[in-house]
Amino acid sequence: MKTPIINYLKDPSQPEKNLGMNGPWRTLSLSGRQGLNPTSIHSRLVLPKHNLNDKRGTLSMWVLSLEDLSYYNSRECMSIDNPDFDVYPFLSDNPNPADYEKANFSLHYRLQWSVQLYAKFYKGNFWPDLVESPQKALVGVGDFIFKKNQWHMLTLAWDFDQEQAFLYINGVLAAREDVYHDAFHRDPCGESLYTGNPTLCYSGIEFYDHVLSPAETEKLYRDQATDCDEEFQKELRLEHAGEGRKTLDWKPDETWVTREDLSLTKPKDLDSFYIQGFTDAPSITEDGLLVETPNLPQQSATLEKQVYLWTRQFFEGDLYVSYEFNPLKESGLSLLVTQASGMNRERFMDDYEPKTTGSMDSVHSDAIRDYHWEYYREMNDTRNDVASHAMLKNPFWRGVAYGCTQKPIEKNQWHRLEYLQIGGKITGAIDGEIVIEATDSPTAGTGGILQAGYIAIRCMIRTSMLFRNLKVMTSNFPESSPVLSK
């Protein structure tokens, strides 16, 4: 492997002479490595030279967070003194590195429920600027928590001729560019790079003139790591590379009752659903329920061309859902919504006017509580070089699970989805392989564990998928019978 062409903070106690430093800084030593930590939100580190405008290259840097860095719901008061409090910059070409929207290049961590750690190569925000035509160049990790007082090596590699970008954490590939894109728009990076945040400590920033391979990136981490946490490395490989996944071994006992059992091959099966959004999407075929949404770019103007299929039945108690699905083409997204009720457990489809929007708002930005599991994700704002899975609790935007498998979900082939919730423990499996595990708690600041509601299958734009053999079972809820009002 070649040596870096540009090097900063090789010895943070004696910073390079060409390195600009504004405001108060200090050196911190932990686990055999030194780094620079600013003690003011106004402190800046200025890197006068880089190669981010070259056709190809690699950036590697070591970062330590003085706190566990993870997503949380924000309130307006949090931005009173610092409007960019929710951005933790690593490197940016904006002199105010936390103001990521004005940067042509920014590698940072942001408090948002999905794609928290990412590098963007364009001026603008994450949404909707990323997807509005022309599609922009970005590579992002769907979910990640920086552990307190632990060194992490971030590695960003790019090849603009091939329109490729790779983002690694401790030598583990955690993200790639949208592999289904047509062409990316990029803005040139400014002459200098800036960083500075009191939560973070920076060390060992290197630029290479070639794209480091996965093997080279892992070797670089192993060679430079002063204290490798093998258990943490195992967690990274499980979550982002799908290594070591277990199988779901569960069978219902006599307490479980079948509440819904549909082959989805009969026209009358559609009567069991309320269709919200793009009502032309679903149709019954001899192969199963076909859902097709228009093959249009994911942009603000196309959000209504998406569809929900809500069960008309309301389920209560522990929950098991299974069905088969068959993706007929690349791209698109499908998700499962469970335990969907109003904010007071009400049956919103009975108590209020039917919802008609096809947008994502009904999932996470409405007066509906639910869990949603994105189990087929090939959109341009999700990781799609492999199968990635994300689960949220809504409308709190609390991510409860994320995980990747070793390869994408195969097209034109039937797959079986299983969702099992017992109390606050939720397990999701595809073809018997556990891909997400979540634990909800009433002490998490998002209310009680959800155990009542409707179920929905949602398909986003550019999706073509068959469904069959839907089965729903419940347990641990008292038998009930209606009482007529006088």
Asked if residue 332 and residue 237 are part of one domain, the reply reads no
- Provide the percentage of residues in the chain whose pLDDT is more than 70: 99
Using alpha carbons, list the distances in angstroms from residue 185 to 53, 67, 336. 13, 35, 32
SS3 assignment, position 214: helix
Q: Is the dihedral of CA 466, 469, 473, 479 positive or negative?
A: positive
Give 1-37 pLDDT, tens digit per residue: 789 999 999 999 999 999 999 999 999 999 999 999 9
Q: How many whole angstroms separate alpha carbon 139 and alpha carbon 121?
A: 9
**Antiparallel, parallel or unpaired: β 33-38 and 172-176:** unpaired
Give 254-280 pLDDT, tens digit per residue: 999 999 999 999 999 999 999 999 999
Which amino acid does the sequence have at 472? V
Output phi, psi for 326, to 5 deg: -135, 105
Asked if residue 319 and residue 233 are part of one domain, the reply reads no
Q: How many whole angstroms separate alpha carbon 223 and alpha carbon 280?
A: 56
pLDDT at 177: 96
Asked if residue 250 is part of any domain, the answer here is no
Q: How many whole angstroms separate alpha carbon 278 and alpha carbon 185?
A: 30
Asked if residue 455 and residue 381 are part of one domain, the reply reads yes
pLDDT at 463: 97
Count the domains in the chain.
2
Give 224-261 pLDDT, tens digit per residue: 999 999 999 999 999 999 999 999 999 999 999 999 99
Give the closest residue to 390 by CA, choosing from 375, 378, 405.
375
Check whether 200 has a pLDDT greater than 80: yes
Q: How many whole angstroms separate alpha carbon 194 and alpha carbon 221?
A: 24
Asked if residue 206 is part of any domain, the answer here is yes
Burial of 134 (0-12, 13-18, 19+ CB in 10 A): middle
Asked if residue 247 is part of any domain, the answer here is no
Check whether 86 has a pLDDT greater than 90: yes
Burial of 209 (0-12, 13-18, 19+ CB in 10 A): middle
Q: How many whole angstroms separate alpha carbon 197 and alpha carbon 245?
A: 36
Give 377-393 pLDDT, tens digit per residue: 999 889 999 999 999 99
Q: How many whole angstroms separate alpha carbon 97 and alpha carbon 194?
A: 6
The average confidence (pLDDT) of the chain is 96
pLDDT at 361: 92
Q: Which domain holds residue 355?
A: 257-475
Give 314-343 pLDDT, tens digit per residue: 999 999 999 999 999 999 999 999 999 999
Contact between 137 and 161 (Cβ < 8 Å): no
Asked if residue 70 is part of any domain, the answer here is yes
pLDDT at 321: 99
Give the closest residue to 325 by CA, choosing from 416, 461, 455.
416
Whichever domain contains 349, its CATH number is 2.60.120.200
Asked if residue 311 and residue 422 are part of one domain, the reply reads yes
Please state the length of the chain: 486
Strand partners, 208: 58
pLDDT at 71: 87
Q: How many whole angstroms separate alpha carbon 203 and alpha carbon 150?
A: 12
pTM, entire model: 0.95
Asked if residue 268 and residue 226 are part of one domain, the reply reads no
Could you say which of 241, 269, 286 is where a domain stops? Answer: 241
